Structure 1
């Protein structure tokens, strides 16, 4: 199968249309590609939209400021060509050279038909980032957005595109009266932990061991997909103080690249949990060391969260756990 489609809209069209097609056929295909995808909004009130006056313009919000800093334009996926662009970004990040789509176009179209928010970041005419979402309900019946995969192409990283996408998702939710977004992330990824817990202020709800099965399940050293479940409460701020007065101990520290566990952490008012700088490289090149890290970190996080500890991200570059009896 060919490589994932990337580039400008014109390049995507040129890549997917056969060069031997008659001009009339090409015209029809281009018109079809730019046709709007059916995407009803499950939280919209069409009667109110017709009978109520338009709301007054609001002052600039954090999402607009983040988009300006990142130098991108973020828009909802709206046409079939947008779907192809979103698929190309997801493939480029999660399935480069895999020979298959990470998210098939048909699946994205079904999400859009259900009113799911799929937001695409554009650098000019080039798609560079995407975040998926699905509207659902909490256990007590309140609407929420379950945020799905977020991908930013390597060429656009370091500019704040990720936080711009998340804040755009937040704005989408608040416009519809939704005040909670949930998602999971790799518990071993420090960049993700810093973004989700410190910069966005999401709250860790649970540790989910093996949430997505096993990585490389056929290899001699398969590793579980351990995830942290977080809730982003949009109407408030983070409930986890990461810079408290209590002097933390290192529950998991690093020594010569290996994790060192101190069982006495459970008796302290606060504890730090180190992570390896690049777990992806360890998983590929040294699965035994990656497994040691994952077992040490996962064991502490699982025990702490089950016992009521709160987890945040410390500026030193580690999880900071705060005891419920502090």
Structure 2
């Protein structure tokens, strides 16, 4: 059982300075200036804070975006205090973001995340039912901080249509073709042994490790191998018209699968 999370929209300098402190703690890198977050909040963006017993334990920061005549909300940062992670608070902040965004007139939210981070995959694709067909190589260049150091900053760009009420109940495709074979090395870490870039299957499964941070810490070469091989797979299948639409976590202790469906 978790404590009740109280979520508020933040706009004062003091609140946004508190957000900065949590951002530094979680991400371990330079924080976003308050003059930026204040300006965003005053011009269509939002900062949501999640509180337990009046203590800030999580936040979400978004700002407006515009491309090809369409306005959307760019969801830039989501952070949960290390003492409160894996309690479902990230999902609650995203659902609150959805509500506030709809009131502001948005119908689409986009964001990026590292596709090798299984927890983020479970939230963004598995629970929120966002979709992805865009792979961005080294999106942010070299970044400091424990979470980003050591690997190129490749990212998925996901899209979340927040006016599809049935999205969270959408069924996960079944019968995915196993185009990738994995094994476990002497350290107990999974690795990709073989993979194929051609198939006629409507649904394919691409695995990721369940703990890329531990692999990166203990075997950086293997983590880089995961990055390179999954990058090739995602880019190839996205180019063929496949879209990430689900996550299959029933693959054992070491890996989970992204499920990609070919669009008509």
Q: In the alignment, which of 159, 162, 168 is matched to residue 96 of structure 2? A: 168
Number of residues paired by the alignment? 248
Q: CA deviation at 1:116?
A: 1.7
Q: Can you list the C-alpha shifts for 1:71-100, whole angstroms capped at 9, x where unaligned?
A: 1111111222101211111111001xx6xx
- Corresponding position of 1:266: 199
Q: In the alignment, which of 226, 229, 249 is matched to residue 178 of structure 2? A: 249
Q: CA deviation at 1:272?
A: 1.4
Are 1:203 and 1:238, in contact at CA under 8 Å, matched by a contact in 2?
no
Structure 1 pair 194/254, CA: closer, same or farther in 2 (3 Å)?
Answer: farther
Gaps of 5+ in 1: 1-67
Q: In the alignment, which of 59, 71, 76 is matched to residue 9 of structure 2? A: 76
- Corresponding position of 1:321: 260
Pairing 1:148–2:76 present: yes
Pairing 1:121–2:50 present: yes
Are 1:279 and 1:290, in contact at CA under 8 Å, matched by a contact in 2?
yes
Larger radius of gyration: 1
- Corresponding position of 2:31: 102
Gaps of 5+ in 2: 251-255
Pairing 1:301–2:234 present: yes
- Corresponding position of 1:59: none
Are 1:133 and 1:147, in contact at CA under 8 Å, matched by a contact in 2?
yes
Structure 1 pair 154/285, CA: closer, same or farther in 2 (3 Å)?
Answer: same
Are 2:26 and 2:81, in contact at CA under 8 Å, matched by a contact in 1?
yes
- Corresponding position of 2:60: 131
> How far, CA to CA, are the matches of 1:238 and 1:251 in structure 2?
28
Q: More deviation in 68-77 or 118-127?
A: 68-77
Are 2:207 and 2:257, in contact at CA under 8 Å, matched by a contact in 1?
yes
TM-score (norm 1): 0.70
> How far, CA to CA, are the matches of 1:279 and 1:210 in structure 2?
17
Q: Can you list the C-alpha shifts for 1:264-284, whole angstroms capped at 9, x where unaligned?
A: 653433321111121122223
Matches within 5 A, 1:1-326: 71-95=4-28, 101-139=30-68, 141-215=69-143, 223-236=151-164, 237-238=166-167, 242-244=172-174, 246-256=175-185, 257-263=190-196, 266-311=199-244, 312-316=246-250, 317-324=256-263
> How far, CA to CA, are the matches of 1:214 and 1:263 in structure 2?
30
Q: CA deviation at 1:285?
A: 2.8
Are 2:50 and 2:59, in contact at CA under 8 Å, matched by a contact in 1?
yes
Matched residue SS, 1:120: strand
> How far, CA to CA, are the matches of 2:152 and 2:35 in structure 1?
28
- Corresponding position of 2:253: none
Give the CA RMSD over aligned residues: 2.4
Structure 1 pair 143/128, CA: closer, same or farther in 2 (3 Å)?
Answer: same
Higher relative contact order (CA 8 A, sep 6+): 2
